[in-house]
Structure 1
Amino acid sequence: MSKTVFLAGATGVIGSALVKLLVDEGYLVFGSTRREDKADYLRSLGAKPIVVDVFDRERLYEALIQIKPAAVVHQLTDLPRGLDPSQMEAAINRNARVRTEGTRNLIGAMLASGCESIVAQSIAWAYAPATKPYAEDAELDIKAEGLRQVSVGGIVALEQQVLNTPHIQGTVLRYGHLYGPGTGTDQPTGASPLHVEAAAYAALLALRLNARGVFNVAEDKAEVTSEKARRVLGWVPELRLPHVLSAQ
């Protein structure tokens, strides 16, 4: 099997860590960024930069048809550094668009290129209130209101496309609240904390093992259980990069 990967969102906090892991694993990584000035950063990590906006459907299709990746890893978000509260309302709406329209464009480009495998980032705090810890078969909070409704709606759209599109073999990683390099905090945060480098390792393991379905990915004693990720992926929350990378 080809080890060519298209990493969408390669300069994000997870993407930056994941590029290094994939390159060290022997993958040929094509990493996407919206900004030309980040191309050199991706080259320094060992990736081949692709400057493209996920909403530029024509350019995205053109890129994937040329690359013909064996797999796509979807780590796209549109959030402010450190989740700045003053910017979050607008960011939540932008992020939901990435997860709906952006995912649709990405999967369309995959199909056009002949690629059938995708690993996609989701979140572990979109569950409807129920008995904790939440496992992957718990219901999502589709009856939420306000900005939470926007966030959950984006997640539902992303997951349905990744898991239910014909001819696509999809994996969804429901990440906990990130901390570590590039996230704005070095300490565990939220009800389901997750170190950014451990998050990157979950994506690598899912890709390496060709695992399919939904996986919670968070530390022990979280609101969610990550037992499935431990059992199927061999993932543990203590995983870290050999050396620290800083997201640019």
Structure 2
Amino acid sequence: MAYRIFLAGASGAIGQRLIPQLLAAGHQVTGTTRNADRAAKLGTLGVEPAVVDVFDADALSRAMRAARPDIVVHQLTDLPAGLDPSRMAEAVVGNARIREEGTRNLVAAAVASGVRRMVAQSIAWAFAPGSEPHAEADPLDSGASGNRGISVGGVIALETAVLNAPFAGIVLRYGQLYGPGTGADTPAGASPLHVDAAAYAALLALDKGAPGIFNIAEPNEAVSTRKAAVELGWRADFRLPA
């Protein structure tokens, strides 16, 4: 079935790999960006661009009402190109704000627009220390301090807002991304994930899977991804054609 999709963060690493999958499946896509130049590029890809800042709640609500989406896909982040280490301390704070305030605004706009489902990006390395591999029901590291505490706090705020909203909320806890646009060419971290496979999970979650959380990563010892394989039919080896 074809849907009207509101893709928040369309010009990001996952958004860029998700767009061709959405269009190939016959969906109509409105994609957000804060940058007018990136909006023009989205237009050339077949996406209806919406230049809007997620922190401007009124403008975001107007853009969503104009798009009349069935489903919102939340792929917003605020990270430096290539995950530049010299800028990551600042980015942790900005990214947490996106997850908390930005998600709150996005959920409010979705509710006002009558959206029936939201698929949102989270992370798979926010679990509290404990037995591995972590399943989705394991607790998050709410007692963390420093930059990790800021990051996990943002994750908890995002997931709470999406899962408690009056629509079907799907949270995809992504592993450490690599591939085009991510700044990493090869797998790294405890739960690596190719960006194409990350985008593929979002595509599947448009109409598969009960509301809730799914770990999305290549097979590893840190997190279990069995739920995504069984309920979404997700495959870690998915890649876009060259």
> TM-score normalized by structure 1?
0.95
Shift in CA distance, 228/186, structure 1 to aligned 2, threshold 3 Å: same
Which amino acid in structure 2 is aligned with residue 202 of structure 1? A
Task: State the alpha-carbon separation in 1 of the partners of residues 210 and 184 from structure 2.
Answer: 30
Stretches (4+) displaced over 3 A: none
Determine the structure 2 residue equivalent to 1:65.
65
Residue aligned with 1:88, SS: helix
Which amino acid in structure 2 is aligned with residue 173 of structure 1? L
The question of whether the paired residues in 1 share the 8 Å contact of 2:121 and 2:174 is answered with: yes
Structural mapping, 1:130-145, within 5 Å: 130-145=130-145
Shift in CA distance, 222/236, structure 1 to aligned 2, threshold 3 Å: farther
| Deviation digits for residues 139-163 of structure 1 (CA, Å, limit 9, x no counterpart) | 1000001000000000000000000
| Deviation digits for residues 61-108 of structure 1 (CA, Å, limit 9, x no counterpart) | 111112110000000000011211110010000000000000010011
Residue aligned with 1:235, SS: coil
Task: State the alpha-carbon separation in 2 of the partners of residues 149 and 242 from structure 1.
Answer: 39
Determine the structure 2 residue equivalent to 1:29.
29
Shift in CA distance, 23/58, structure 1 to aligned 2, threshold 3 Å: same
Residue aligned with 1:5, SS: strand
2:40 equivalent to 1:40: yes
Shift of 1:208: 3.2
The question of whether the paired residues in 1 share the 8 Å contact of 2:2 and 2:26 is answered with: no
The question of whether the paired residues in 1 share the 8 Å contact of 2:173 and 2:216 is answered with: yes
Residue aligned with 2:17, SS: helix
Shift of 1:2: 6.0
The question of whether the paired residues in 1 share the 8 Å contact of 2:177 and 2:193 is answered with: yes
Residue aligned with 1:108, SS: helix
Task: State the alpha-carbon separation in 2 of the partners of residues 92 and 60 from structure 1.
Answer: 23
The question of whether the paired residues in 1 share the 8 Å contact of 2:2 and 2:25 is answered with: no
Shift of 1:242: 1.8
Which amino acid in structure 2 is aligned with residue 199 of structure 1? A
Gaps of at least 5 residues in structure 1 are 244-248
Determine the structure 2 residue equivalent to 1:19.
19
Residue aligned with 1:120, SS: strand
Shift of 1:43: 1.6
Which amino acid in structure 2 is aligned with residue 170 of structure 1? G
Which amino acid in structure 1 is aligned with residue 240 of structure 2? L
Task: State the alpha-carbon separation in 1 of the partners of residues 220 and 53 from structure 2.
Answer: 38
Determine the structure 2 residue equivalent to 1:112.
112
C-alpha RMSD over aligned residues: 1.1
Determine the structure 2 residue equivalent to 1:169.
168
* Identity %, equivalent residues: 56
Determine the structure 1 residue equivalent to 2:181.
182
Gaps of at least 5 residues in structure 2 are none
> TM-score normalized by structure 2?
0.98
Task: State the alpha-carbon separation in 1 of the partners of residues 204 and 82 from structure 2.
Answer: 26
Which amino acid in structure 1 is aligned with residue 195 of structure 2? V
Shift of 1:54: 0.2
Determine the structure 1 residue equivalent to 2:9.
9
The question of whether the paired residues in 2 share the 8 Å contact of 1:193 and 1:222 is answered with: no
Residue aligned with 1:99, SS: helix
Task: State the alpha-carbon separation in 1 of the partners of residues 56 and 22 from structure 2.
Answer: 26
Structural mapping, 1:67-86, within 5 Å: 67-86=67-86
| Deviation digits for residues 17-64 of structure 1 (CA, Å, limit 9, x no counterpart) | 101100110000000000001112112221111000000111101111
Task: State the alpha-carbon separation in 1 of the partners of residues 44 and 227 from structure 2.
Answer: 35
